[in-house]
Amino acid sequence: MLTVALQQGINGLVLGSLYVLVALGLTLIYGVLVQINFAHADIVTLGAFSAYFFTHAFGGGYLPSIAVALLVGAALGFLINAAVFAPLRERGNELLPLIATIGVSVMLENVMLAWFGPIPYAFDSPYSERVIRFGGMFFTAQSVLIIAVSAAAIGLLYAFMKFTFLGKALRAVAQDRETAGLMGINPNRVIMLTFVIASALAGMGGAMLGPVLVLTPFAGASVIVKAFAIVIIGGFGNVEGTIIAGLIVGLIESYTTQVLGPGLIDIVVFALLLLMLAVRPTGLIAERREENV
């Protein structure tokens, strides 16, 4: 029984690590702009497709494909900010960027549908076939890779936010954009950097989600719903809360699958979301907005 519990715990950490990578992008953008990017799901999908074609069409390795997906995600984040958020930000209406990103999401999904077609792609990773056995438990090298890459990305992001000038500038803009501008910080460049980092994390998450999910033009949509739930549970705009909530949701999904079956996963996760909204609507870590990010 203990072995089964530990096995499901490892599976939950793998799922949670993937969810955290996707949810962190949403948290960063909300923490700085108080805006939601609905096209985030499609950046995840395009990251997965870019990794797929790099490995299957061009013969590249899986590990380099993660870096390719990261770069594709970063480029998409830069373009979405430059084409959508930056022009609409000047108009002073917070609803305009929100509505625009819904349109960008629909456009990207239809572009992917036209390019890649509706038939699912099988994204095989060489690490998925390597099984590691330890004390009655077994897990794939892909699972170890997911946890290691996610932990490294989270650690680097934390170090960037806390110890670098740009990270401190990002936090300053999140706290008070006008005051940060008066102190010599260029808010527009910091916001652009936020989009690039958030989308790079989404692209990298897509590359690691690809071998786990059935890869279609709408693959990211199934993950982004959980990511939104994680951001709300952890506290909108709060990085630490998002990390904790992502791992909790991953573990809940894993143990729910073992005890109740896979059909009840979404019911349990969103029941937790509703409970959190009723009991603690500010999220797991309730901080003043200026302390977030």
pLDDT for res 131: 82
First-residue to last-residue Cα distance in the chain? 40
Q: Count how many domains the chain has.
A: 1
Burial of 25 (0-12, 13-18, 19+ CB in 10 A): buried
Cα–Cα distance list, 44 to 83, 170, 174, 213 (Å): 19, 23, 24, 12
- Residue 179 belongs to a domain with what CATH number? 1.10.3470
pLDDT for res 269: 84
Do 170 and 32 meet the contact criterion of CB atoms below 8 Å apart? yes
Going residue by residue through the chain, which has 293 residues, state the pLDDT in tens, using 9 for 90 and above.
667 778 888 888 998 999 999 999 999 988 888 888 889 999 999 999 999 999 988 888 999 999 999 999 999 999 999 988 888 877 767 788 888 888 999 999 999 999 998 888 888 888 888 888 877 777 788 888 999 999 999 999 989 988 899 888 998 888 888 888 888 888 889 999 999 999 999 999 999 988 888 889 988 888 888 898 899 888 877 888 899 999 999 999 888 887 777 777 778 888 888 888 888 887 787 655 445 56
Q: What domain range includes position 148?
A: 2-291
pLDDT for res 199: 95
Q: Report the distance separating Cα 226 and Cα 15, nearest Å.
A: 11
pTM of the complete model: 0.90
pLDDT for res 292: 55
Q: Report the distance separating Cα 187 and Cα 189, nearest Å.
A: 5
The amino acid present at 4, given as its one-letter code, is V
pLDDT for res 212: 83
